[in-house]
Every structure is written in structure tokens, then in C-alpha cells.
Structure 1
Amino acid sequence: MVLIQLSSLVSEVSHGQAFLGLCSLLISLIVLLLIRQLVKQRRPRGFPPGPSPIPVIGNIMSLATEPHVFMKKQSEIHGQIFSLDLGGYSAVVLNGYDAIRECLYHQGDVFSDRPSLPLFMKMTKMGGLLNAKFGNGWIEHRQLASNSFRYFGSFQKPLDQKILEECMFFVDAIDEHKGKPFNPKHLVTNAVSNITNLIMFGERFTYDNCDFQHMIEIFSENVELAVSGWAFLYNAFPWIEYLPFGKHQKLFRNAAKVYNFLEQIIKRFSEGRVCNFPRHYIDDYLNKLDKSAGDLGTPYSRENLIYSVGELIIAGTETTTNTLRWAMLYMALYPNIQEKVHKELDSVLGSGQSPSLADKKRMPYVEAVLHEVLRFCNIVPLGIFRATTQDTLVSGYNIPKGTMVITNLYSVHFDEKYWCDPGTFSPHRFLDSNGNFVRREAFLPFSLGKRHCLGEHLARMEMFLFFTTMLQRFHLQFPPGTVPSLTPKLGMTLQPLPYSICAVRRQQ
């Protein structure tokens, strides 16, 4: 009996020691991880100053709401160039036109990389086009896309004529609401995305194509999720991938659905492909892939094709769509501005003549309105994160190679040095005393440098033609007794919250 009790006691002591040992090991591991994280949070010598970070998570929590506004306010304290700690990742934030021009224009090559963030690695493996590392692979993919925009956009008929055809589908679809309230997001998104679809696939999709519409909605949701607090946390602590909850999980599920859809659609539109006679971007890419077969260093792959197509669709849809949605909202909000647009359209086009790109120079007020929408609404307030390709010196600060760089384009468009009363919506700031359109230096909605928006020319064409075709036919107004919120929905782009509008046929 005594032996049994002694044996039981020894067993309990052994289990207790094992448990204590395990706890000690776990505590030691946590302490080491904390020390490692705190060491990562130390600013390098000569690095720009910035707000004090919270241990471990850094300044991540400060970016939860309106990060672009937070960064501009911090620049008033720390200067136009300051740093943030994103959970162990040191980021340099550029604020104001002077700082951004110095880096993106005068040191263009240095500020042309993408940061190797866990989120980018997870989503695209740093391949594709938008998130690709700076180098030959990115250069070849950008050149291919640029050629496709020029050639396939004008294949068979000029691109502006194709856009005008889509404009007519668009205004006819609006007409079906017969002046009653409707949410314009669905129609605008489908119409704008069809221009990119013509280049990518050689076809447009009808507005009732549920599969494509669902894909665009998922894309739009991911644009929002990609800069959520969970995304920043994932970059700081990639191991949270194994947590069963969190918005980052929704982001990954959405991406998987989109990639599966794109794989199927690429397969469908590549049927009947004839080598050296490409019909659209997919054909051209697959021809490049075939020609580089056996080349181990080729940047072309089926995976990069999927990433590139997805990125070009969302980049070609999200920004222009949100610009037009903001433009519609502000025309209804400021009927006096809308009336001036109507007068200019009627004066230049007369009765029954459709707008064309040739009319653009004769419509300075329309140009001023569209530019003010882009400035005031800041569709892509922080651009796409960049990284330095080498050690560099900016304004006396040392910025090491591989440092993440955030360009606060919002601060450029609200830079008091270049804009008078920037918080007021005023198209007249883009007109001279004679009513002629004037370009402004501190206007960078498409960013600057080698990584500036590839589709800027296409986006400008779409904005002008969709806007003028719509305003020529309709007067926009809110349903009686309603005024929508002007607070933007936060994401990589700033989009208006859902609103209803009435498009009433004009009596010309």
C-alpha cells in the first residue's frame, strides 16, 4: 500500500515538473518573440522620425479609420517625410507634393519596387503586374499590357467609338428606371468594366451576367479588405493565417473564388487561339508563354496570367467606377454646377449630337468638374505601397533598401501650399480668368513615376465620355427629402456609401 502511494506521488511530481517545464519553455518563447519584435521596431540610424509605436503592434491601430487623414495630421507634427511602425515593418510616409515629387520623379528608379509583404506574397507571390517586384519581369508584363491597351482597344474600330457604344448601353439602362430612384453602382460598375473586358477578352458582358457581376463584387470587397486592420495584422504576424476567424480569412476565400473564376474564363476565351494572330490580351499573353517555353527565367506563366488579368480588371474598373459615382453624387448635390455642365454640353453639341473626344478641348468646364472630383474625392488616397530598390538619402534622412514607402496622395490634393481652400469643392480652381482649362502641378490622382497608373489615358477617356453622355441626356437629383452621406467607404479606394439617385430625362 505504501509503495503504491509512493509511486503515485512520484508520478504526480513527474507530471508537475513536465508541466512546469512546458510552461517555462512557452514563456521563454513568448519573451524571445517579444524581444525580437521590439528589436524590429527600432528605427535605423538616420531614419525619419514618427509617432511613438505601441510595443509589438506599432502604429497599426492608428490606421483603422481614415489613415490618409491621420498621416496628413502627423506630417504637421513630424514633417512631410516621417515613419510609421506597422508591427515590426518600418514604413516611410511621403506627404505633400514636394516630397512625393522628389522621390517618385527625381528618384524614380529608387522608389519603383513593391514591398515583400506577407499579404502580397500570399495573394500573388509577388507576381502578376501591380504587385510584381521591380525588374525585367515587371517591365515585360507592363509592356505587354500597355501594347494590349493600344492595339486591342483599337482593334477593328477606334477605342473611343467602343466606349461610346457602351455609353449608349449605359444610358439606355438608366432610362429604364424612368426617373425613379435607383442605386447607380451596379450599372456604372458593369459599364466601366466592359471597356477593360473588350481588351482582356474581346467581348463585353451584359449587365445581367450574374457570374461576372459576382466576381466584380468580390473584387470590390477585397479592395476594401486589403487595407483593413486585419490585413496589417497579417503582415505583422503571418501566423494568424491559422486562426479560424478574422477579415483576412474572408480576403483569402474571396481571392480563391476569383482565381477559380478567372481560370475558367481564360480557358473559355483562349479557345480557337491562332499563334501570331492574337484577338485580345489573353491570346497575346499565351503566345508569349508558348514562345518562352523552356526558358527557366521567363516571367510568363499561367499563374501570372491569372494574377495579371485580375489586377487589370479591378484596376480598370474600381477607380473609374468610383470617380463616376462621386461625380453623379456631386452633380445632384450642387445643381448650380450641374446646370453649367448642361449649358456647356448644349452649347458645344447642339441637339442630338453625341459627345466625342474631339469635343474635349471645347468643354473646359466639364474638364474642370472631372478634375475637381478626382482631386476632392481622392479615389486612391494612398496609391499602392512602394519600396526602395537601394539605400537612398531624402531630405537628410537615410532610407535603407527594401523600406516600404506610402505615398499619401490625399495630402497632395489638400496641400495648402498649392491649393487655396482645398476643403471646398470648386471646379473653378481649374479655370483661368477667361474660363479656359488650366492644368495644376499638384494634381496626382494617377500617381507619378515609373509605377504611375498604366490605364490613365483609358480612364480619362472613359470618365469624359460616360460623364458627358449621361449629363447630355439626364438631369440628376436626389429623391425628395434625401441627401446621401459624403463620408467615404474606406479601402484601397475611397468609394461613396450606397445612395439612390433619380436620372430625369432632360428637355433639350
Structure 2
Amino acid sequence: MITVFLILLLFILLIAYVIEREKRPDNYPPGPKWWPLIGNGFLLRDLSKKLNGQHWALSKLGEDYKTPVLGLKLGREFVVVGLTPEAIRAILTRDVFTGRPQSFFMKLRCFGKRQGITSTDGYSWKEQRAFATKQLKQLGFGKETMDSLILVEVEELIQILKSVVNGIGNITSPSVLNVLWALVTGKRLEKSDPKIKKLLNLLNRRSRAFDMAGGTLNQMPWLRFVAPRTIGYSLLQELNAELKSFLMASYFDYLQETIESHKNCTNLESNKNLIGAFFQEQKLKTNSINFTDEQLVVLLLDLFLGGAQTTSQTLDFAFLLMIKYPEIQEKVHEEIIKHVGKDRLPTIDDKSKLYYVEAVLLEVMRMYCVVPIIGPRRCLDKTVLNGYNIPKNTTLLLNLHAAHHDATLFPEPYIFKPERFISSEGKLINQESVLAFGLGKRRCLGEALAKSCLFLIFAGIMQHFKITKLPEHDDPSLEPLIGITIAPRPYSAIFHSI
């Protein structure tokens, strides 16, 4: 009898705990009601499929509940979504929102651990970011050294683009990757290397298989044992296995060769790159868990793969839009010829004169934000946002797509209009309204590289070519492929030398 009573009592306490845990917190941001245990996961999944993107689904829910910050529960996590420029700026700049969730999704991308810069917080993040920032600056990040490396890639691109190109990203991605690779290793990769193309293809497929909330898999990871293929776990495992196999067999072979060459180097002055500096740090901090070989690999992946993929996809969109809007393409070309001529390539010093080129790139990043939902962040302590209570350890997502299409800030937001960034005096304005690189302490580490690559590659190519679609082809689609990042659908183009 006592045993039955204890079991009943335990059951009642368990039910009470679940009910208490599933309650909506006091003064939590507006949002849909959720189911016990699963929260709003299925609602968000179905709406994302219907509207072709999680950023569209979150915007729709924000409109339905008339709120700048949306309150959800996804599996066991409380999730708050910033939808307006003001809310997003607050999340990006306040220290209380600088954490990263300790989730299945975040660990999945880093070999099952919290490593690197992107997926960590606290002391590990501060130490790794401080190290990387310092070393990259010393190596020429954001300086003439980096720009000269980019111009080498631009010159090679100009030679390649004399013929029809199928899938522009197959050319621009290695260019961006090569610049950063040269800075951190001192070596340059060949664009013709098929391993690079395969790696970038794997990354693109993998990004479209994830979503920034972690998806059903992150919200209810136990479902991977029940319905692995239905929830996408099998696909992710297959892609992860393929990616890991490829990396270990080819990319990491080259990386390990570079690592070993620097380990055997005893002259401090000869280690003038990020890898050499990392091993010097290893020697000084022999007991540190933040300076291991695996930590270096994840750090390099954070720098290379994220930067190369997003920057090249932005360039893909820029060239696509030049095909769709030939009158804008003509203005870009005229401005470059007027201020630079054709005897030399545009340099960073020319940015102050090429206002229209800069405005076009800003409008590309606004209209086709390659990472439409940035984050996720973790609230380090209970706080208030837009008048609503945010519990400690709440996950925060930032719908950058919604902010970049805010009609009060950007009238006619779905029209491609570079002129919105140019004043009546012909000067550049409102650059700070484009938040593609974030703000605050977690501002994008590769911002200097991305901005220089975007400007120098775009301006250099537009100086030399007129871009059109193939005559027998339909107009390329402006509807993007959706994943963690968005990318143009594959398209073909002809680059006419001018």
C-alpha cells in the first residue's frame, strides 16, 4: 500500500513539475500557445514549409501577435525572436545577451563539443576571440596586405570570366577562401582543385538541411531514435559523415601538413601566420584546454568556411541582380570608369569615390541577407526586453530579414533600389541600418575581409565585363534556396569583355 502511495505521489509530483515547467513565464513576449513537451516546434516547422523559410514564418507570427519581440517555446527551450531594428540592436549590443545556447545543434557543428569562436561563450570565447583578433590584425587583416591578396584573386577571376560561367559561386568561393587561407597559413590553393568545389558543395547542402532554431532535432533530440529520417536526422548524419570523411581525407591532410611544419619550426619570427602564432600560444599555455589541435581546426573552420560561403553567396546575388537590372549595371560601370578608368583595378582607396558601387552592395546585403536569422544567443541572466521579461538561459534569435524589410526604415522594401543609400548631395547614407555583420562584442570577426572582398571583386569584375544571361535561357530566378544561409538558385551568365 505504501509503495502504491509513493508511486502515485511521485507521478503527481512529476505531472506538477511538467505543468509548472510548461507554463508561460510571467510577462513573457506575445506569441502562440504551446503544447506540453513539444512547444511550438511543429507549428513553426509547418509554417516555415508553407511560407518557404523560417524567417518568413517568424515574421508572420510577429504580425499576427503585433509584437516586435515574439515569445515561443521550442521543445524544452524558451525562444524569443527579435523582429524589428530596435529590438535586434538591443539584443546585439547588451552584454546580457552575449551567451550561446548549450544545445545539441551548437555541439553538432563542432565535433560534439563547445569549441572555436562561433559556438562558445564565457572565458573560452573571450580568449579565442582576443587571440584571433590580435593575430589577424598583425597579419594584415583589414590592411594593404589583405587587399593585395584579394587583387591577385581578382586578376585571376578576370581571366577565368572570359567564357560562359555556370554557377558563379564555384569561382568566387575559392577566391574568398584563398585570401584568408594565405593570411593564416602563408599558402594559396588552386581554384582548379576539385576538392575545393566538393567541400563548398557539401557546405551548401548541409546549410540548407539545418535551420537556425536547430529544428525539430534540436528541440526534441530524442526523436532521432524514433523517426530519424522523418525529422531529418538521417540526412544530417549522412551529410556530416560525408563532410567529415572529405575533410579528414583531403582538407585536413593539407591542414595537418601545415600544422606539423609549424610545430617543427623553432624560430618565433618565422611563424608569421595564425597557425604559427597558435602553436606559440600552445607552448606558453601547455595546460590550457583552449589551445589544442582540435580547437585550432574548429577555429580555422569558423574563419574559412563561414566567411567564404556567406561572402561568395552575397557576390552571387550581386551578379544575379546586375543581370536582372541592366540599367543599374550600366550605372555601376560608368561610375567605375569615371573615377578609376581601365588601366588599373579598383582599390580600397577608391571606395570614397565609388558611392553608387557601395550603395549597390549595401542594397544587395539588405534585400538578400545571406544569413536571414542570426544568433542564436543565450540570455545570461533574467532581464527585460521591450518591456517583456526574458528568463535566464532563454535562447534569442534575430530575424535580420524582417529588420531589413521594415517599411518604416526602408520604403518599398521589396524593390531593389540602391538610391535609398545615397543622399541628395550624392553621398553615402544609412550604412548603419544594414546589420549583416552584427554589432557589439560578437560583431563578425571576418567583417574586414568580407567588405574588402565584396568591394574589390565586385568592382573589379564590373570594370571589365557586362553580364547577361544566356540568350536561350529564361531569366534567372530571384527566389533563393533556403537554409541556415540563403543562396541564389544556380544560374548561367555570359561575361562580355568591355
Structure-2 residue corresponding to 1:103: 91
Matched, 1:163 2:150: yes
Structure-2 residue corresponding to 1:270: 259
Deviation at 1:492, TM superposition (A): 1.4
Matched residue SS, 2:416: coil
Matched, 1:59 2:40: yes
Deviation at 1:371, TM superposition (A): 0.5
Work out which of the residue numbers 459, 463, 470 in structure 2 matches 1:472: 463
* 8 Å Cα contact 2:212-2:373 kept in structure 1: no
Work out which of the residue numbers 412, 420, 427 in structure 2 matches 1:421: 412
Deviation at 1:271, TM superposition (A): 3.3
Matched, 1:489 2:481: yes
**CA distance in structure 2 between the partners assigned to 1:351 and 1:263 by the alignment:** 41
- How many pairs were matched up? 470
Deviation at 1:54, TM superposition (A): 4.6
Deviation at 1:320, TM superposition (A): 0.7
**CA distance in structure 1 between the partners assigned to 2:369 and 2:205 by the alignment:** 19
User: Residues 95, 232 of structure 1: CA spacing in aligned structure 2 closer, same or farther, 3 A cutoff?
Assistant: same
Deviation at 1:215, TM superposition (A): 2.2
* 8 Å Cα contact 1:37-1:88 kept in structure 2: no
Amino acid of the residue matched to residue 410 of structure 2?
W
1:236-315 alignment, distance < 5 Å: 236-242=219-225, 245=229, 246-257=234-245, 260=248, 261-273=250-262, 274-275=265-266, 276-277=268-269, 278-295=271-288, 298-315=289-306
Deviation at 1:219, TM superposition (A): 2.3
* 8 Å Cα contact 1:364-1:436 kept in structure 2: yes
User: Residues 154, 368 of structure 1: CA spacing in aligned structure 2 closer, same or farther, 3 A cutoff?
Assistant: closer
User: Residues 307, 112 of structure 1: CA spacing in aligned structure 2 closer, same or farther, 3 A cutoff?
Assistant: same
Structure-2 residue corresponding to 1:459: 450
**CA distance in structure 1 between the partners assigned to 2:207 and 2:14 by the alignment:** 31
Work out which of the residue numbers 389, 399, 403 in structure 1 matches 2:394: 403
Unaligned runs of 5+ in 2: 1-6
Structure-2 residue corresponding to 1:5: none
**CA distance in structure 2 between the partners assigned to 1:123 and 1:379 by the alignment:** 19
**CA distance in structure 1 between the partners assigned to 2:425 and 2:186 by the alignment:** 44
Matched, 1:187 2:178: no
* 8 Å Cα contact 1:183-1:499 kept in structure 2: yes
Deviation at 1:239, TM superposition (A): 2.6
Matched, 1:94 2:78: no
Matched, 1:207 2:191: yes
Deviation at 1:36, TM superposition (A): 7.4
**CA distance in structure 2 between the partners assigned to 1:248 and 1:48 by the alignment:** 32
* 8 Å Cα contact 1:218-1:258 kept in structure 2: no
Matched residue SS, 1:213: helix
Question: Which of 337-346 and 480-489 deviates more?
Answer: 480-489
* 8 Å Cα contact 1:84-1:90 kept in structure 2: yes
Matched residue SS, 2:182: helix
Structure-2 residue corresponding to 1:130: 118
Unaligned runs of 5+ in 1: 1-24
Question: Which of 154-163 and 363-372 deviates more?
Answer: 154-163
Rg larger for: 1
- After superposition, the C-alpha distances for 1:283-307 in whole angstroms (9 at most, x for unaligned) are 2112212221134xx4222221111
Matched, 1:116 2:105: no
Amino acid of the residue matched to residue 420 of structure 2?
R
Question: Which of 384-393 and 466-475 deviates more?
Answer: 384-393
CA RMSD of aligned residues (A): 2.6
> So what's the TM-score if we normalise by structure 2?
0.88
Matched residue SS, 1:432: coil
Amino acid of the residue matched to residue 38 of structure 2?
I
Deviation at 1:37, TM superposition (A): 6.8
Give me the identity figure in percent: 29
User: Residues 300, 233 of structure 1: CA spacing in aligned structure 2 closer, same or farther, 3 A cutoff?
Assistant: same
Deviation at 1:146, TM superposition (A): 1.5
- After superposition, the C-alpha distances for 1:387-421 in whole angstroms (9 at most, x for unaligned) are 11111111221111211000111111111221111
User: Residues 244, 69 of structure 1: CA spacing in aligned structure 2 closer, same or farther, 3 A cutoff?
Assistant: closer
Structure-2 residue corresponding to 1:10: none
- After superposition, the C-alpha distances for 1:135-175 in whole angstroms (9 at most, x for unaligned) are 22111111222223322246997211111011111121112
**CA distance in structure 2 between the partners assigned to 1:185 and 1:487 by the alignment:** 16
**CA distance in structure 2 between the partners assigned to 1:371 and 1:282 by the alignment:** 33
**CA distance in structure 2 between the partners assigned to 1:265 and 1:392 by the alignment:** 47
Deviation at 1:121, TM superposition (A): 2.3
Deviation at 1:386, TM superposition (A): 0.7
Deviation at 1:428, TM superposition (A): 0.3
**CA distance in structure 1 between the partners assigned to 2:333 and 2:480 by the alignment:** 27
User: Residues 118, 93 of structure 1: CA spacing in aligned structure 2 closer, same or farther, 3 A cutoff?
Assistant: same
User: Residues 360, 57 of structure 1: CA spacing in aligned structure 2 closer, same or farther, 3 A cutoff?
Assistant: same
Structure-1 residue corresponding to 2:426: 435
- After superposition, the C-alpha distances for 1:303-349 in whole angstroms (9 at most, x for unaligned) are 21111111111121111101100000000100000000011011011
User: Residues 73, 293 of structure 1: CA spacing in aligned structure 2 closer, same or farther, 3 A cutoff?
Assistant: same
**CA distance in structure 1 between the partners assigned to 2:257 and 2:325 by the alignment:** 46
- After superposition, the C-alpha distances for 1:165-193 in whole angstroms (9 at most, x for unaligned) are 11111121112x2xx35321211111111
Structure-2 residue corresponding to 1:367: 358
Question: Which of 136-145 and 259-268 deviates more?
Answer: 259-268
Matched, 1:221 2:209: no
Structure-1 residue corresponding to 2:71: 83
Structure-1 residue corresponding to 2:3: none
* 8 Å Cα contact 1:226-1:251 kept in structure 2: no
Question: Which of 270-279 and 91-100 deviates more?
Answer: 270-279
Structure-2 residue corresponding to 1:324: 315
Matched residue SS, 2:72: strand
**CA distance in structure 2 between the partners assigned to 1:320 and 1:54 by the alignment:** 39
Deviation at 1:250, TM superposition (A): 2.5
* 8 Å Cα contact 2:362-2:431 kept in structure 1: no
User: Residues 93, 140 of structure 1: CA spacing in aligned structure 2 closer, same or farther, 3 A cutoff?
Assistant: same
Amino acid of the residue matched to residue 44 of structure 1?
P
* 8 Å Cα contact 1:113-1:387 kept in structure 2: yes
- After superposition, the C-alpha distances for 1:337-391 in whole angstroms (9 at most, x for unaligned) are 0000011011011232211111111110001101000001111111121111111
> So what's the TM-score if we normalise by structure 1?
0.86
* 8 Å Cα contact 1:222-1:254 kept in structure 2: no
